[in-house]
Structure 1
Amino acid sequence: MAGRFAPRPARPTLPHQAARAVRGDERPLTREWTPPGPLDLRLVLGPLRRGPADPTFRMAPDGTFWRATRTPEGPGTLRVAGRGDRVGAQAWGPGAEWLLAGLPALLGADDDPDAFTPHHRLLAVARHRRPGLRLLRTGLVMESLIPSILEQKVTTDEAYRAWRLLVRRYGTPAPGPTAALGLHVMPDARTWAMIPSWEWHKAGVDTKRSSTIMRAVRVAPRLEEASTMELPRAAARLELIPGIGPWTSAETLQRSNGAPDAVTVGDYHLPGIVGYALADNRHADDEEMLTLLTPYEGQRHRATRLILLSGRIPERRGPRMTPGNIAAL
């Protein structure tokens, strides 16, 4: 009942919340870039969004995309918008120059869609209908690795909730005019390492996943080096950390490295989707999925993206997985 209890005193400011005030009127750095071919910003940048309320990513009603991230130079906010056959970008914060320098790579300039040759009509049609699909490359490992670890063995809703709660609680407000959007920059490695066990529990993250994140952030600089490695070496570097396997490394390197062959093995749904699309077998396992994707060696991640975009997805025949809630325990 409202007014029944006296209001609690304000909580003291936490160390990560004592950052400098974020000015919304600071002048941004700007850049324009002309992509080498068709570019669909929604398809390219979509993999960065971790749920509709992701505090690090927004698509505004005017069709612009906002991204808050932690660069090697510090926090930064990037705003991207299409301008005819060009792309305009604005950036704020200590990481602004780094973000603008990496804009072409982020939007798929290093990707080569022509390297993909469809061997199934379904994929040929999907590619024809999605000419603006390019594989992004962020050059940042930890920002994709941590949410990928949170997504291990749970429903996407549970993982998105955990990411949202932890970033809002321990991250910092994004630089620039982002107050209305509620954008936050994810915590740095030291802050992740200092999150107490009960806060992980309140966010619904079990000990196995939180411990994996703790191990990863302790060697964050070494893991970030994987962003410049070829796929096999990069995956091997990430998988040295106990708790990080092929599924997590693939989900990370698809985003950080723009790896076109980083196929997600160990996924609950993907083998059945690929099997249904290419062989009418909704019960395919990882082994059959990899066999079906053999003609696309070197481009297997792109092939799975096109399959997902084709709309040929098997109908559900059972109830959705029930989300857990360890926070209530």
Structure 2
Amino acid sequence: MILQVPAAPAQQSTAEPVRLRWTPSGPVHLGQTLAVLGRGTNDPTLRVISPECVWITTRHRGLAVSARFTRSPGGTAATALERDIVVDAWGPGAPEWISRAPYWCGAADDWTTFEESSAYALLPERLRQARRRHPGLRLPATGAVTDRAVIAVIEQRVTAIEAIRAYRYLVRLAGETAPGPAPTGMYVPPSPEQWRRVPSWQWHRASVDPHRSATIMRVIHRSSAVERLGLIQDPAVVRAKLQTFNGIGVWTAAEITQCTHADPDGISVRDYHLADYVCWFFDGAPGSDQRMEELLEPWRGHRQRVVRLIKASGHRKPSFGPRLSPADHRWH
């Protein structure tokens, strides 16, 4: 789906925000849709202030952007998720980026085909209830492939705590303070040039091993080509192209396109938790990636939507032992 949004006129100064007002076709829950982009409560690139106010930072053509997504006032409780979305953006990249803003909050994601399909009727009632309770849940399409690739690679083979800590440390180290009146502590993700300047010992201090840092550098060195992947509409094609990079496999590619392309089908195969999580929901028992794919097969084309509905349903898999304690090698 191609969204046609008129670009805002270029401004001489970025001290004042560039504004876009967007009328969504159908419900959009800002907090629920954009929160998936964040990593931890103190993510320096995303801050959910409330369900109707979210700040993000990004880059457009290498230029810094910070943006605030809010809802227009008025309306009733019944129309709360359908009110206009107002985006105010600051920074040198804001005038050109602003036309992309609706994609971030799900403008390219359309659940209609899925909900009208025979496969939707096969969903367990608990998942259909979850969809009725969360009609504003959408999949974002940021198009910021390089930024998302860095995050996904940092998350390879480590705990969430380790990945969150590493990403926060590196963004604050190499990035820059968010322009405009962004909340304190927000930073713009580093540009390719800023990533290149991170010395090896800082990667070590962030607990990012040489294999992952080398993969990130391969992505950064080809960042122009990587960013062009954001223009390809088919997320399956993008996943395949991403996997041509040494160090990016099926899990990493899916983690990227879920956020950059509103990927309705990409599931994180080989994830440490996901297979068990899905299998416990359907089977009431742990399972393998193969079993997860078998269970989700009736909804091929929309398997990521099903995973998101499982999470929205409040499902939790049982815990049987202590959590893995992350090792901290930063000071060794």
Of 132, 136, 142, the residue aligned with 1:132 is 136
Q: How many pairs are equivalent?
A: 304
Give the equivalent residue in structure 2 for 1:210: 213
Q: Tell me the percent identity.
A: 38
1:237 and 2:241 correspond: yes
| Alignment of structure 1 residues 275-290 onto 2, 5 Å | 275-281=279-285, 283-290=286-293
Rounded Cα–Cα distance in structure 2 between residues aligned with 1:38 and 1:64 = 16
1:43 and 2:51 correspond: no
Gapped runs of 5+ residues in structure 1? 1-23
Of 306, 322, 326, the residue aligned with 1:323 is 326
Of 222, 227, 230, the residue aligned with 2:230 is 227
| Alignment of structure 1 residues 289-304 onto 2, 5 Å | 289-304=292-307
Give the equivalent residue in structure 1 for 2:93: 95
| Alignment of structure 1 residues 185-204 onto 2, 5 Å | 185-204=188-207
1:83 and 2:72 correspond: yes
Give the equivalent residue in structure 2 for 1:9: none
CA contact (8 A) 1:205 1:326 kept: no
Post-superposition Cα deviations, 1:154-211, rounded to whole Å, max 9, x if no partner, equal 1111101111111111101111112x52211111112212211100011111111111
Post-superposition Cα deviations, 1:185-244, rounded to whole Å, max 9, x if no partner, equal 111112212211100011111111111111111111111122222223211211111111
Residues 311 and 118 of structure 1, relative CA distance in 2, 3 Å threshold: farther
Which runs of structure 1 show a deviation greater than 6 angstroms over 4 or more consecutive aligned residues?
Answer: none
Report the secondary structure of 1:65's partner residue.
strand
Report the secondary structure of 1:236's partner residue.
helix
Query: What is the deviation of 1:103?
Result: 1.9
Rounded Cα–Cα distance in structure 1 between residues aligned with 2:71 and 2:37 = 18
Give the equivalent residue in structure 2 for 1:104: 102
Give the equivalent residue in structure 2 for 1:251: 255
Post-superposition Cα deviations, 1:261-294, rounded to whole Å, max 9, x if no partner, equal 111111111111111112222x111101011101
CA contact (8 A) 1:57 1:68 kept: yes
Q: Counterpart of 1:308 in structure 2: which amino acid?
A: K
Query: What is the deviation of 1:62?
Result: 8.8
Query: What is the deviation of 1:29?
Result: 1.0
Give the equivalent residue in structure 1 for 2:117: none
Tell me the TM-score normalised to structure 1 length. 0.89
Rounded Cα–Cα distance in structure 2 between residues aligned with 1:328 and 1:284 = 38
Q: Counterpart of 2:46 in structure 1: which amino acid?
A: F
Q: Counterpart of 1:145 in structure 2: which amino acid?
A: A
Q: Decide which moves more: 82-91 or 298-307.
A: 82-91
Query: What is the deviation of 1:252?
Result: 0.4
Rounded Cα–Cα distance in structure 1 between residues aligned with 2:186 and 2:248 = 28
The structure with the largest alpha-carbon Rg is 1
Rounded Cα–Cα distance in structure 1 between residues aligned with 2:113 and 2:277 = 23
Q: Counterpart of 1:247 in structure 2: which amino acid?
A: W
Tell me the TM-score normalised to structure 2 length. 0.88
CA contact (8 A) 2:265 2:304 kept: yes
CA contact (8 A) 1:171 1:187 kept: yes
Rounded Cα–Cα distance in structure 2 between residues aligned with 1:89 and 1:236 = 33
CA contact (8 A) 2:14 2:90 kept: no
Q: Counterpart of 2:174 in structure 1: which amino acid?
A: Y
Q: Counterpart of 2:97 in structure 1: which amino acid?
A: L
CA contact (8 A) 1:247 1:266 kept: yes
Rounded Cα–Cα distance in structure 1 between residues aligned with 2:284 and 2:71 = 38
Report the secondary structure of 1:237's partner residue.
helix
Residues 98 and 262 of structure 1, relative CA distance in 2, 3 Å threshold: farther
CA contact (8 A) 2:30 2:51 kept: no
Rounded Cα–Cα distance in structure 1 between residues aligned with 2:200 and 2:121 = 48
